[in-house]
Amino acid sequence: MQSSVRFPRVNARRVAAIAVVALTALIAGSLAARQQEASPLTGFSPEGAQTEAQWEQKFRAMPSTDNMRELMEFLSAHPHHVGSPYDKEISEWLVGKFKDWGWDTRVETFQVLFPTPVDRVVELVEPTHFVAKLAEPSLPEDATSNQQSEQLPPYNAYSIDGDVTAPLVYVNYGVPADYDELERMGISVKGAIVIARYGVSWRGIKPKVAAEHGAVGCLIYSDPHEDGYAEGDVFPKGAWRPPDSVQRGSVMDIPLYPGDPLTPGVAATPEAKRLDVQDAKVITKIPVLPLSYADARPLLAAIAGQVAPERWRGALGITYHVGPGPAKVHLRVKSSWDLKPVRDVIATIPGSDAPGEWVIRGNHYDAWVNGARDPVSGLVAELEEARALGEMRKAGWRPQRTILYCAWDGEEPGLLGSTEWVEKHSAELAARAVAYINSDSNGRGYLEAGGSQTFETFANDIAKDIVDPETTMSVWRRKQLHEIASVSSDEERNRIRNRPTWPIDALGSGSDYTAFIDFAGVPSMNFAYGGDEENNGVYHSAYDDFYWFAHFDDPSFVYERALAQTSGTAVMRLADTDLLPFNFSDLSNAVSGYIGELQRLATREANRIRERNREIATGEYAYLSETGGRPAVVPQPKPEPQQLDFAPLQAARDQLVRASAHYQQNWERARQNSAFLTRGGLEKINEELFHSEHALIDPNGLPGRPWFKHQLYAPGVYTGYTVKTVPAVRETIEQDQWSQAQQAIASASKVISNEAIAIERAAVDLDTALQ
Ligand SMILES: [Zn+2]
């Protein structure tokens, strides 16, 4: 999945225009600049670095755009969702391919709950009658768009079954702030069906929040304002969503736990103890269906009542009203709730010196429909890497560490394949996994890198060695220019120019790295090229297919090649290096930044509550909010915010900063000491390095969601994909739970302090080894 939650975008066009100007001006000098940027191979002995550089050069010349085009055409030739015939065929084909390329290959199968729709109805029953089509028509020029009999029709997986008829209320994006606005307007959704537009939050948040406010049904539609003709020409003329296209997708409560809903925390093997379906908390409380904008328009046009606030208005060319009613809608959803197999394909090249240390790479292969972009654009890169690594092995390359290449099934419904695999192997992963490198949808654009902050310098180093296909500057430089173009002040621009690295994004959720980092504590990275929303014009629809991709996303497949070069280089470098390139100063900088943010957030939130309570007490409140000229409905005041004591977090931060600085000092000595790096025997230190992420795991998990164990990163309970850093502290402050926030500060401090201890141990052991 991995996508489309960034609406509404802030001036992306303008930013893109600036970036193009900046890029053009800089292309001339870029080749010279690349020479200066190219990173030294850190962590290798001088001979090792030379050999590595030669192998890497060979590797980066191997991924072929013609191969990837052919692979995509084959892999997206038919719909291949979980449990479909083509999904199974692909799994078998993948096994054959990996074996041909010289990999030891096996399939690991799990039995997971995957509902597929048997009955879907959305009709307007008052004041007029209209029946929603709920279907995507085939297009003559698009050869695979007519495979309706093989497709899953548009639906939201893990919607509960239901049959409701109720007045309709428009709730904008359907996030908590929209319900605050409705409350001020005096509008309740109790007993209503809500209609929310896609965007801002992950889709699964919308029915969750609607149900919390008493709604009985939820419709989610694509508004052309951010997902259609207001953005650009629609498919097949352009890349954007046509009127009847629907975004399918899961509405499972992934922020509670991903994977099979019936086996949280354990692998969904045949003998696993399973919850009853009605006890699986991740299934929605109310029925949900997705709509195209052609189907949504008559429903929205029939709503009356107050006119929607300006920010809520889309591009349907109607006056947006909020309701409730007089539009009344009948919504019926029924699914077949079967267990279906997910088949993960796992291919291995054994390590020569440290076979017990695993470098893991993965991308999913299942799709909602044909899935040329999501996920095949990332999968073809992974496959070309695997072919290239296989050929290099035949030519004599021997990675020190074991390499695992994984093709995950069942990602789209809820990260099923990867989560079950991680749950099954969590003890081995904790002991052996050096890193997990993920990709998913990919396209034309700049590099987006996310991951554990200990890999920030490493990811920057890799990016300096990859050539951007459009500009021929390094992808590192192009990304830096993008960062410069996205900020608004000279001060920020100069700060970015003067930084030796750009930051990598903390990981939330939305793809298969989730279980690795959040459940198992494996240091993880995610790579993708893209960055233009146009890439997602037909996201999760029947038109995300080869015709669309080859016309509008990356017609020359050069960014799939760039992804293969990026991820493959990262895999090789981690598998071959003598001393692993973890950088803890990047981590301690990031953590210091998070703690500063949390303190400012607490102050801001407390001030906001005090101000609001003051407005309520003085009677100002009703006249200070915009509610279409009417006085706002006045809520109850909130309890007085509690003063939080951040001293424990500050102390833990200082400890982390000291330990990190100590380690980095010794790392600098080590990386320049060729005799030391050549003599080997670094297993213990390497192990301490890749185990360090595990210190950030609390086995009890986050408050209210024990599956999520990482204490620095998690997807937000009310945002979905978007990351919340130091989530236990941040979310309790955001939800005004002050005493829980104080407890969360204590537990987060403990974990950060444990991390500092782990880093200090590595620093001391490295020092001793250097003697
Ligand atoms: Zn995907």
Which pLDDT tens digit goes with each residue over 15-67?
344 444 444 444 434 443 444 455 678 899 888 999 999 999 999 999 999 99
End-to-end CA distance of the chain: 49
Lowest mean pLDDT among 42-46, 77-81, 591-595: 42-46
Nearest Cα neighbor of 558 from 405, 380, 375, 372 is 380
CA of 313 to the centre of ligand 1 (A): 29
Nearest Cα neighbor of 567 from 386, 325, 769 is 386
Model confidence, pTM: 0.94
**What pLDDT band is residue 222 in, cutting at 50, 70 and 90?**
very high
- The pLDDT, as a whole number, for residue 671 is 87
Question: For all residues of the chain together, what is the average pLDDT?
Answer: 93
- The pLDDT, as a whole number, for residue 32 is 39
**What pLDDT band is residue 509 in, cutting at 50, 70 and 90?**
confident
- The pLDDT, as a whole number, for residue 38 is 56
Angle between helix 727-734 and 584-618 (nearest 10): 10
CA of 379 to the centre of ligand 1 (A): 10
Q: What is the mean pLDDT of residues 448-458?
A: 96
CA of 365 to the centre of ligand 1 (A): 8
CA of 351 to the centre of ligand 1 (A): 29
Q: Give the C-alpha separation, 531 to 540, whole Å.
A: 17
CA of 374 to the centre of ligand 1 (A): 5
Q: What is the mean pLDDT of residues 750-758?
A: 98
CA of 80 to the centre of ligand 1 (A): 13
CA of 515 to the centre of ligand 1 (A): 15
pLDDT digits (tens, 9 = 90+) for 119-144: 999 999 999 999 999 999 999 999 99
Nearest Cα neighbor of 406 from 504, 553, 515, 506 is 515
CA of 159 to the centre of ligand 1 (A): 20
Helices (H) and strands (E) in the chain, counts: 26, 16
- The pLDDT, as a whole number, for residue 65 is 98
Contact 597, 414 (CB under 8 A): no
pLDDT digits (tens, 9 = 90+) for 363-410: 999 999 999 999 999 999 999 999 999 999 999 999 999 999 999 999
Q: What is the dihedral of CA 184, 187, 190, 191, to 10 degrees?
A: -170
pLDDT cut 70: percent of the chain above it: 94
| DSSP 8-state symbol, 332 | E
- The pLDDT, as a whole number, for residue 721 is 78
Tokens 């997910």, residue located: 342
CA of 207 to the centre of ligand 1 (A): 21
Q: What is the mean pLDDT of residues 100-116?
A: 98
On the question of a cis peptide bond just before residue 127, with omega within 30 degrees of 0, the verdict is yes
CA of 1 to the centre of ligand 1 (A): 3
Nearest Cα neighbor of 213 from 182, 252, 254 is 182
CA of 377 to the centre of ligand 1 (A): 9
Q: Which two tokens stand for residue 493?
A: 């621009």
CA of 519 to the centre of ligand 1 (A): 20
CA of 511 to the centre of ligand 1 (A): 6
Residue 6 clears pLDDT 70, i.e. is over it:
no
Task: Return the H-helix or E-strand segment holding 588.
Answer: helix 584-618
Q: Give the C-alpha separation, 108 to 421, whole Å.
A: 8
Q: What is the mean pLDDT of residues 666-681?
A: 87
- Strand 524-530 relative to strand 433-438, pairing: parallel
CA of 510 to the centre of ligand 1 (A): 8
Q: Give the C-alpha separation, 614 to 421, whole Å.
A: 53
Q: Give the C-alpha separation, 190 to 240, whole Å.
A: 35
CA of 539 to the centre of ligand 1 (A): 10
CA of 3 to the centre of ligand 1 (A): 8
CA of 192 to the centre of ligand 1 (A): 33
What residues contact residue 327 under an 8 Å CB cut-off, 6+ apart?
A: 124, 126, 127, 167, 168, 299, 302, 303, 304
CA of 441 to the centre of ligand 1 (A): 6
CA of 540 to the centre of ligand 1 (A): 9
Q: What is the mean pLDDT of residues 173-202?
A: 96
pLDDT digits (tens, 9 = 90+) for 289-346: 999 999 999 999 999 999 999 999 999 999 999 999 899 999 999 999 999 999 999 9
CA of 332 to the centre of ligand 1 (A): 28
- The pLDDT, as a whole number, for residue 15 is 39
Nearest Cα neighbor of 520 from 265, 316, 309, 212 is 265
- Strand 104-126 relative to strand 130-131, pairing: antiparallel
CA of 430 to the centre of ligand 1 (A): 25
Contact 573, 581 (CB under 8 A): yes
- Please state, as a whole number, how many other Cβ atoms lie within 10 Å of the Cβ of residue 440: 25
Q: Which two tokens stand for residue 511?
A: 């793809």
- The pLDDT, as a whole number, for residue 31 is 41
- The pLDDT, as a whole number, for residue 2 is 62
Q: Give the C-alpha separation, 329 to 320, whole Å.
A: 17
- The pLDDT, as a whole number, for residue 479 is 96
Tokens 């090229």, residue located: 529
> Is the torsion defined by CA of 364, 369, 373, 377 positive or negative?
positive
Nearest Cα neighbor of 440 from 501, 358, 524 is 524
Residue 149 clears pLDDT 60, i.e. is over it:
yes
CA of 73 to the centre of ligand 1 (A): 17
Nearest Cα neighbor of 685 from 419, 355, 376, 434 is 434
CA of 376 to the centre of ligand 1 (A): 8
- The pLDDT, as a whole number, for residue 35 is 41
Q: What is the mean pLDDT of residues 671-696?
A: 91
Q: What is the mean pLDDT of residues 347-361?
A: 97
CA of 202 to the centre of ligand 1 (A): 14
Tokens 């267990």, residue located: 339
DSSP three-state, residue 712: coil
- The pLDDT, as a whole number, for residue 678 is 83
- The pLDDT, as a whole number, for residue 207 is 98
Q: Which residue has the higher pLDDT, 628 or 665?
A: 665
**What pLDDT band is residue 534 in, cutting at 50, 70 and 90?**
low
- The pLDDT, as a whole number, for residue 630 is 83
Report the chain's C-alpha Rg in angstroms: 26
418 alpha carbon, distance to own chain's centre? 14
CA of 440 to the centre of ligand 1 (A): 5
Nearest Cα neighbor of 518 from 528, 507, 527 is 507
Q: What is the mean pLDDT of residues 233-259?
A: 97
